[in-house]
Amino acid sequence: MHKRRLGRTDLLVSQICLGSMTWGQQNTEAEGHAQMDLAFSRGVNFIDTAELYPIPPRAETQGWTERIIGSWMKTKGNRDKVVIASKVVGRTANTWFRGDRPSKLVRADIFDAIEKSLAKLGTDYIDLYQIHWPDRDIPWGSNPTRVGAVARRADAVGAPAGETPVAETLGVFEELVKAGKVRHLGLSNESSWGVMRFLAESDKGIGPRVASLQNAYNLVNRTFEVNLAEVCEREEIAFLPYSPLAQGYLTGKYDHGARPQGSRSQLFNRGQRYETPNAAEVLLQYNELARSFGMEPALFANAYVTSRPFVTANIVGATSVAQLDMALSSAEVTWTEEMQKAVDAIHQRVGNPCP
């Protein structure tokens, strides 16, 4: 398992990062521990989590994923060997994160989040602390293929105040870094403008410099390549793609409208991002392409993401050890020019149906 530098930092992270969003809901504590055992035995040293997890977010389960990671590290006594990435929620009307109020990216809320995450993880610091989504009122994922009117968030009765300035949020992260609670800052679900705005403020001496960006990236969503790839390359920001399997739609298990018992699509009504017009046909094309190369669609889709030259670490997720084993094996796949040309030929025809 190759290690790569996380942006300009001194952190070396495995080319595959272990995602954890199912632990505490679809997966038990023991199953989460088993996944971490397997991943670390194969050379992984990087785990991604969030105060929000597990998914779907619920007040009853919120924070359980961090607790499971914390109990594993306590059992193993290996905190010094684990690179932990967690996230603070962006602006949300849900009150269960802060206990009695909506949340936004201001000092009181970020400090509340970090203290709770540190306690659940059983650690004094988080290596990479990420903003889960922006404070701004923009489409989820921040890189849509179409937009309507773009306006700044207005104040509303009973809602938090308007947008929190980036400089204000960065100032809070500067406090966290100086206090030793956070080593590095990362962004997630962010746009090119957003990344550059954070960099502009840090270039003025306000807060820490952004080290990484975590956005969705897969065969049916290559929007990162349009502008963000250049931003990350030139600014030396690590790219940590999530959802390489498009929430399971690139495994083939949902082909032809199938909904297997116990699958995320069958359990939760959260697949809209991958159920857009024409998406089913496009997903089937990629899954059949994988089979034409003699590969399982899940292995093919993960190998595509893992092999990209602009990817620092592919964040993989699984609900079983067998699924995780296949995801980890993507690091061993030789991605050929023939495969890339075949993928690009489909993409040329269909673009990004699931941004």
Contact 61, 21 (CB under 8 A): no
Helix axes 297-307, 321-329, angle to 10 degrees: 50
Omega prior to 244 cis, within 30 of 0: no
For residue 302, the tally of other CB atoms under 10 A from its CB is 26
Number of residues that make up the chain:
355
Rounded-to-integer distance, Cα 311 and Cα 217, Å: 10
Structure tokens at 7: 């942006």
Tokens 């990350």 correspond to 232
Contact 176, 182 (CB under 8 A): yes
Rounded-to-integer distance, Cα 135 and Cα 131, Å: 9
First to last CA, the chain: 29
Active-site residue, 129 included: no
**Of 53, 129, 242, 274, which is the active-site residue?**
53
Structure tokens at 57: 């977010």
Nearest to 248 by CA among 306, 189, 320: 320
Omega prior to 56 cis, within 30 of 0: yes
For residue 191, the tally of other CB atoms under 10 A from its CB is 22
Rounded-to-integer distance, Cα 159 and Cα 157, Å: 6
Beta-sheet pairing, 3-5 with 12-14? antiparallel
Contact 288, 205 (CB under 8 A): no
For residue 315, the cross-strand partners are: 17
Contact 351, 145 (CB under 8 A): yes
Q: Please give the positions annotated as active site.
A: 53
